[in-house]
Every structure is written in structure tokens, then in C-alpha cells.
Amino acid sequence: MREPTRRLAAVLAAACLPGAALAAAPDGARQEALLHLLRQDCGACHGMTLKGGLGPSLLPGALAGKDAADLALVVLEGLPGTPMPPWKVELSPEEAAWLVDRLKAGVGP
């Protein structure tokens, strides 16, 4: 590849990649922010280690057998009549799904 072409390809890749990542799953920096939110905000009710507090345990064992899409919906919409608030202002559906996947896999303290 000639040098100007190679440079153009690099610029295009840098310009396109973050957007592509955002549409599918959160990118690296956003993943960090989401895990921070999980520990700080979700942890306030579900416990610092997510083993339960005011809200139930969000550890893999507690979530096993529960549908990931249902759980993501709970995160987005909250559970009316309970302290579980809706997060759809802060989180996109993709981000809620990503968080539920992390929870089911076990994010650790």
C-alpha cells in the first residue's frame, strides 16, 4: 500500500471504530463507567459486593435461570412499587444487556 493510502486507511479506521463499537456493545471507556456505576449506584442497594442488601443479590447464582432479557428490562424500567428505580435515562438497552451479561458471568467486587 502506498504511504498516503495507508495513512488514509488508518484515519478512516480510527474514525469508524468507536462508532461501530457503540452501536453493538459499550466501548472500553464506557465499560469502565458502567462497572463503576454498578459498584457505586447499584451497590448502594444491592450491596458493595452485589450479594444483596435492600435489593436482592445480583451474583451469578442468584440470577441463574432468570431470563437475561427480563433482567435487562427490570434494569431499564425499574420495578414499580419497589425501591428498584428505572435506569433508562442513564443506560441504553445495549448497555443494560451488557451489564446483565456481566452480572450473570460474575463481575467480582
* Interacting residue ranges for ligand HEC, rule: CB under 6 A: 37, 41-42, 44-46, 54-56, 58, 62, 66, 71, 74-75, 79, 82-85, 87, 99
DSSP 57: P
Nearer to ligand HEC, 6 or 66 (CB): 66
The amino acid present at 106, given as its one-letter code, is G
Nearer to ligand HEC, 2 or 88 (CB): 88
C-alpha–C-alpha distance, residues 58 and 99, integer Å = 11
- Nearest approach, Cβ of residue 27 and ligand HEC (Å): 19
- Nearest approach, Cβ of residue 90 and ligand HEC (Å): 7
Q: CA of 25: how far to CAs of 46, 48, 64, 98, in Å?
A: 24, 25, 22, 7
